[in-house]
Structure 1
Amino acid sequence: MSTAQRLGNDGPEIGASIVLCTHRRPELLAACLDSLAGQRAGFAPGSSREMAHEILVIDNSPLEDGRAVVESRQAAFALRGVPLRYVMEGNPGVSFARNRGVLEAVGALIAFIDDDERACDGWLERLLEPFHRLGDAVDIVAGEVEPDFGALARPDWLADDMMHFFSCRWGWDSEPRFLREAEWFGEGNCAFRKRLMAGRAFPTDLGRKGDGLMTNEGIVFMEMRSAGAATYYVPAAMVSHLIHPDRLNRRWLMRRMFYQGVSNRLTQRRYGLSEQRWDFNVNLAKLADLDVESLEGESLRAMIRLYYQLGYASGSSMG
C-alpha cells in the first residue's frame, strides 16, 4: 500500500474517489465543491471506521481556470480529512477528462459529478451505500438528477417528458432497485468499481468538447452492463443540475437532438449494433424558415423526433 493511498502515513485507506470534471466554469466549480464539503462516504458492514474519500478535480481548460478555485479550498477540505487534488488535462473533451480522472483516482470506487451540478445532502453516502450493503452484487450505482433553472422560471413548453433531454429526471422508481437492461443513467451522477475500467476507456471521439453537443461518452457503461455489470438505482442519491440559460430555448434543443442522432449512429456502427431506418422527406428550405420557438406540445415533440432523425441520417457520412 503506497502512502498516496492513505490519508497521511497513518491514516485510513481511501476507498472512494469523487471525480469532478470541469471546463472554464470556475463559479460553477466553486459551487459544486462547496456542495461536497461535509459529504460522507459511509460505513462498510461490520466496520467501525468510516470509509475515507478524496476529491479529484480534472480541469479540461488549458487556461487552468479551476486551479485557483481548488487551491482556495484545499486547506478546508484537509481539515475534514478529505484530500482535494487538482489535475489539468490538456486534451480537449470530457472523455479525456473522465479517462484522466479514472487514471488518477486512488479509490476502488469512483463517483462522478460535473461542475454544473451540486450534490444534495447525503449524496455520497447514499450513492455508495449499495456497495457497502450488497457487496459484489453491485457494480454500478446511479443517482437521480433534479433540474435547477437558477433565476429563471421553467419554460411552459418544457414538459416533464422532455427533462431527460437535459440529463435530468430519469424517474425509474421512487425506491432503490436494480436497473433493467433498457433503463439508462447519466455520467454526471454515478459511481462504479474502478476495476471495471480495466481495458476500457471513455471514447474520445464522442462526448462534449467545449460547446459541441456530441454525446455518448458514457457508452463505456453499456459495455460494462453488456458484460454483466449489475446497476443499482438510488433516487435519493440526488444532485441538482443547472440548466444554463442559453439552453432554455427550443433551437438549442433541436441542436441537442440532432447531435444525439449523430452520436447514436456512430455508436451503433462502432459496436456493430442494428441501425434504425426511417422513410422521410424534408424540405430543408421550409424547415429553415420554420419558427421552432412557436411550437408546443405534440408539434414540438414531432420536431424533436425529426431533428434526431436528421442527425442520425447525417451520422452515416461521419466518422
Structure 2
Amino acid sequence: MSQIPRRNAIEVDIAVCTYRRTELDRTLRSLAVLDVPADTKIRIIVADNDVSPSAGARVEAIRSAVPFDITYVHCPSSNISIARNACLDHATGDFLAFIDDDETASSGWLVALLSTAEATGADAVLGPARATYLDTAPAWMKRGDFHSTLPVWVRGKIDTGYTCNVLLRRRATSLTNARFNLALGRTGGEDTEFFTHMTRSGGAIAFAPGAWVDDPVPANRASLSWLAKRRFRFGQTHGRLLQENSRGAGLTRKLAVAGAKAVYCFAAAVVSSFLPIPRYRYALRGIMHAGVVSGLLGVREIEQYGTLESTSR
C-alpha cells in the first residue's frame, strides 16, 4: 500500500453493499492494496442485505488481511436501497465511496477519485466500471462491450450517476437528507433517481477516467434478453423522472420525442441487420426509449432483482 503525498488530512468511508456473493472476498482484497494519499484515513462499511447475516463470517475471516477498519452492518430485507441508506447512515468521513460487491478496484482507484474531487469541487465523482466477459459470452457482446458502465453527458454535463463506482462529498448541500428510494430497491433505478435529484438540487458530478474498477459479467447476464430488460428499466426510470416535471403539453411533447426516438432506433436496427454490433446497439437503444414512453405514462418499473437475480446484483 503506497502513500501518495497530500496536503490535508481527510477521512474516507468505502461502502460495499452485499447479498450472498462469494466475490466479496476479492472486492475487499482489492481495497486492501489501494494506493492511499498520505494523511487519509480509510474505513470500509459492509452492508449485508441478506435476511440472515450471511456475510458476517466472511468479513470476520478476511478482516486481518485488510489494513483498514471494517464496519459490518446487517440490514436484512433483500432491498438494495435499505443497504445503501445504511451506508449513508453509518458513514462519518468527509467522503463516501461506493463499489459493488463483485468488482475489484484498481490500485489507483481512490487516488483518482479524490484528485478529481479536489480539482473540480464536484459533489460526486464517477469512475468507469470495465466489463470483463467469460469466454462463453457472445462474440458481438464482447466486441461491442455492452456491459461497461460510463457516465452520460447531456449538453456538456453529467445529469445523473450510478453507485457501482462513485465518490460522494458527504457534507455537500445537494446531498443533505438524500436517501435511496425504498420503492426502487428491487427494480433498480434507485441510484439514477438519487443522483438526478442531487443534480436538480444544484450538485455537480465529475468523471475520473483513471478511477476504474473491473466488473465481471456472469453467464446469466451475458444475454440479449438480460440487456433488453435492463435497458427497458433504465428507460422507465428516466421516463418517470421526466414525468415529475412534466404536465399537459410538456408531457405530450416528451412522449412524442421518446416514441420517435424508439421508432428511429428500431428502424436503424433493421437497416443494420447484417452488422451484429450496430444492430443490437440500435435495438437496445430503441428498447430503452420504449421504456421512457412507459415511464412517462406512469407504468411502474419492472422488477429486475427478484429471485433469479438475487445472487447477481
TM-score normalized with structure 2 length: 0.76
Question: Per-residue displacement from partner, 1:258-287 (whole Å, max 9, x unpaired)?
Answer: 2222222222223548543226999xxxxx
Instruction: Report the equivalent of 1:287.
Output: none
Deviation at residue 249 of structure 1 after TM alignment = 1.3
Matches for 1:146-161 after TM superposition, within 5 Å: 146-149=130-133, 151-152=134-135, 155-158=138-141
Matches for 1:1-319 after TM superposition, within 5 Å: 15-25=11-21, 27-43=22-38, 50-77=39-66, 80=67, 82-131=68-117, 133-134=118-119, 137-149=121-133, 151-152=134-135, 155-158=138-141, 163=146, 166-170=147-151, 180-182=156-158, 185-196=161-172, 197-207=175-185, 209=186, 212=187, 214-272=188-246, 275-277=254-256, 278=259, 296-315=276-295, 316-319=297-300
Corresponding pairs, count: 272
User: What stretches of structure 1 of length at least 5 have no aligned partner?
Assistant: 1-12, 44-49, 173-178, 283-293
CA distance in 1, matches of 2:217, 2:98: 18
Instruction: Report the equivalent of 1:289.
Output: none
Give the conservation status (yes or no) of the 8 Å contact 2:128–2:212. yes
Deviation at residue 160 of structure 1 after TM alignment = 6.3
Give the conservation status (yes or no) of the 8 Å contact 1:95–1:203. yes
Identify if the C-alpha distance between structure 1 residues 301 and 138 changes in structure 2 by more than 3 Å, giving closer, same or farther.
closer
CA distance in 2, matches of 1:194, 1:308: 32
Question: Per-residue displacement from partner, 1:105-147 (whole Å, max 9, x unpaired)?
Answer: 121200110112110112112211234x438x33222112211
Q: Which amino acid aligns with 1:107?
A: G
Identify if the C-alpha distance between structure 1 residues 37 and 313 changes in structure 2 by more than 3 Å, giving closer, same or farther.
same
Give the conservation status (yes or no) of the 8 Å contact 2:34–2:106. no
SS for the counterpart of 1:259 is helix
Identify if the C-alpha distance between structure 1 residues 160 and 62 changes in structure 2 by more than 3 Å, giving closer, same or farther.
same
Deviation at residue 184 of structure 1 after TM alignment = 5.1
CA distance in 2, matches of 1:206, 1:32: 25
Query: What is the RMSD computed on CA atoms of the aligned residues?
Result: 3.1
CA distance in 1, matches of 2:40, 2:61: 25
Deviation at residue 19 of structure 1 after TM alignment = 0.5
SS for the counterpart of 1:217 is helix
Q: Which amino acid aligns with 2:200?
A: S
CA distance in 2, matches of 1:281, 1:39: 43
Deviation at residue 30 of structure 1 after TM alignment = 1.0
Q: Which amino acid aligns with 1:73?
A: I
